Amino acid sequence: MSNCAIVGINWGDEGKGRMVDLLTDSYDVVVRYQGGGNAGHTVINDMGRFALHLLPSGIFRKGVVNVLGNGVALDPENLFKEISEISGKGIAITPENLKISDRAPILFPWHRLLDELEEKRLADKKFGSTKQGIAPYYSDKYAKKTILAGELIHSDALYDQIREITEWKNLSIERIYGEQPVKIETVAEWVNNYCTKIKDYICDTGEYLRAAEKAGKRILFEAQLGALRDIDYGIHPYTTSSNTIAAYAPIGAGAPEMKIDRVVGVVKAYSTCVGEGPFVSEMFGDEAAFLRNAGGEYGAKTGRPRRVGAFDVVATRYGTRTQGATEIALTKLDILSSLDKIPVCVSYDVNGKITRDFPFPSLLDKAEPVIEYFDGWKTDISEIRSFDDLPAEAQKYVLFIEKSIDCKISYVSVGAERESIIIR
Ligand code: GDP
């Protein structure tokens, strides 16, 4: 059981970073295989509190090698800033412990610009983009209109490539959005400023991973966001622009032939969702504000308040299946400790039909939550380390979730700290 993926089952922010930080102890390599700096993991460990956007969470462990695969939206500017910030806190980041895929396309400043211009154009119809350039970036990737990281090393006509691509991009900037064109010299300077700073980390990550696997190294794949944001299987069009599911991990890492033996799906004990889109079990008013504050539900990257809701059996069953989760880590159970009654969305009512099957995305607007209430436990559980020591009501809640999503819950997290975990 050497290869493991840690993935989000819902809308993201499930606490994946915390689980990766815990499990990296048993792994030698941590790989990010999709997404960009548009979300973030929060990791709290003995070195402090860190918001990671692009760097894999294994960066804090000595001896762990971290990989940014070709599926990642490689933003050299933000990555360089993140490396500087974290190494400034005394954590060594070198080509020995960070490897960037030569096949990762580069995210250029115009991707962020176009994201912003498109959100402005959409005005009140906007999707709630984090304006990190992710959608324009992936569009260009599939249109083959970008430059691969490896070109920084291998190309002897890099400036010509930059000129061509800038001229092409300016067509959109000027003609669609009526903005001033980007100057080629500015882009070349940006490449000099940031791309050269990450050059030493660039390599063939597939070759590295194959050798690592052959040498018996244990590999952990780390995803951003969750199944419901997957470009193919999520709540279209309120998805991200990449595949967040475990099945994509080997492809986005650089070694498509690799097998994943273990998929740990991370699920929060209640629901949260950032940005626009259908969110069937959403709670409002004082009830929502209470849970949001108790859980500190504000975006790691943007500080935006997250929408909060009841645990959603329908969405979580779907996410568990889509991820092919072999086990579940249930996080933030401690946050529910102060509730008298805990709401759970057990099914949806879609046009008068009760269902536990996740509907086609456009039908989600018509879905009403069917809510049942569980008794709260009203005791601090953050110091508990054994399942049997949890109050009976908390055990009942966990077992209900396990049964309703038909997947073993092997971890119950009762605090943000590394050791605040119950292993079953
Ligand atoms: P990710 O992107 O899935 O890693 O999610 P976030 O970075 O949003 O992580 C969720 C937040 O909850 C972070 O601030 C974590 O430190 C915190 N957290 C994770 N698990 C627990 C838990 O079991 N209890 C509490 N109280 N906080 C947790």
Question: Could you say which DSSP state residue 156 is in?
Answer: S
Residues linked to residue 106 through DSSP beta bridges, in sequence order: 74
Listed in sequence order, the residues at least 6 apart from 270 whose beta carbon sits closer than 8 Å to its beta carbon are 291, 295, 308, 309, 310, 311, 332, 335, 336, 342
Q: What percent of the chain has pLDDT over 90?
A: 82
Closest CA to 249 of 221, 273, 220, 291: 221
CATH code, domain with 127: 1.10.300.10
pLDDT digit string (tens) for 50-85?
Answer: 888 899 988 988 899 999 999 999 999 999 999 999
Residues 69 and 176 in one domain: no
Average confidence (pLDDT) over 84-96:
92
Look at the chain and report how many structural domains it folds into. 3
What is the band of 253 on the pLDDT scale with cuts at 50, 70, 90?
Answer: very high
CB atoms closer than 10 angstroms to residue 163 = 15
Summary mean pLDDT of the chain: 93
Residues 173 and 253 in one domain: no
Strand 409-413 and strand 202-203: the pairing is unpaired
- Yes or no: say if 324 and 246 are a contact pair by the CB < 8 Å rule: yes
Task: Give the catalytic positions in this structure.
Answer: 13, 41
CB atoms closer than 10 angstroms to residue 135 = 24
Residues 257 and 273 in one domain: no
Cβ(300) – ligand 1 distance below 6 Å:
yes
Name the residue range of residue 49's domain: 4-104+201-264
* Spatial separation of the C-alpha atoms in residues 331 and 335, rounded to whole Å: 9
CATH code, domain with 334: 3.90.170.10
Residues 222 and 347 in one domain: no
* Spatial separation of the C-alpha atoms in residues 107 and 246, rounded to whole Å: 23
CATH code, domain with 27: 3.40.440.10
Closest CA to 402 of 297, 317, 335: 317
The tokens describing 221, both together, are 């794949």
Distance (Å) of CA 78 to CA 98, 110, 131, 315 = 15, 14, 13, 33
Residues 126 and 78 in one domain: no
Domain boundary among 198, 228, 253: 198
End-to-end CA distance of the chain: 18
SS3 69: coil
Omega before 237 within 30 of 0, i.e. cis: yes
pLDDT digit string (tens) for 337-386?
Answer: 999 999 999 999 999 999 999 999 999 999 999 999 999 999 999 999 99
Residues 28 and 119 in one domain: no
Residues 10 and 99 in one domain: yes
- Give the ligand 1 atom nearest the CA of 44: 16
Residues 401 and 412 in one domain: yes
Burial of 161 (0-12, 13-18, 19+ CB in 10 A): middle
Residues 191 and 42 in one domain: no
Listed in sequence order, the residues at least 6 apart from 115 whose beta carbon sits closer than 8 Å to its beta carbon are 129, 131, 132, 133, 134, 135, 136
| Sign of the alpha-carbon torsion through 357, 361, 112, 116 | negative
Residues 221 and 150 in one domain: no
Cβ(416) – ligand 1 distance below 6 Å:
yes
- Give the ligand 1 atom nearest the CA of 18: 19
**Nearest CA owner, ligand 1 atom 10:** 15
**Most ligand 1 atoms within 8 A of CB, residue of 9, 302, 331 to mutate:** 331
Residues 190 and 69 in one domain: no
**Nearest CA owner, ligand 1 atom 18:** 416
What is the band of 123 on the pLDDT scale with cuts at 50, 70, 90?
Answer: confident
Residues 188 and 275 in one domain: no
Burial of 292 (0-12, 13-18, 19+ CB in 10 A): middle
pTM, whole model, 2 decimals? 0.93
pLDDT digit string (tens) for 166-220?
Answer: 999 999 999 999 999 999 999 999 999 999 999 999 999 999 999 999 999 999 9
CB atoms closer than 10 angstroms to residue 357 = 11
* Spatial separation of the C-alpha atoms in residues 293 and 281, rounded to whole Å: 18
Domain boundary among 149, 180, 198: 198
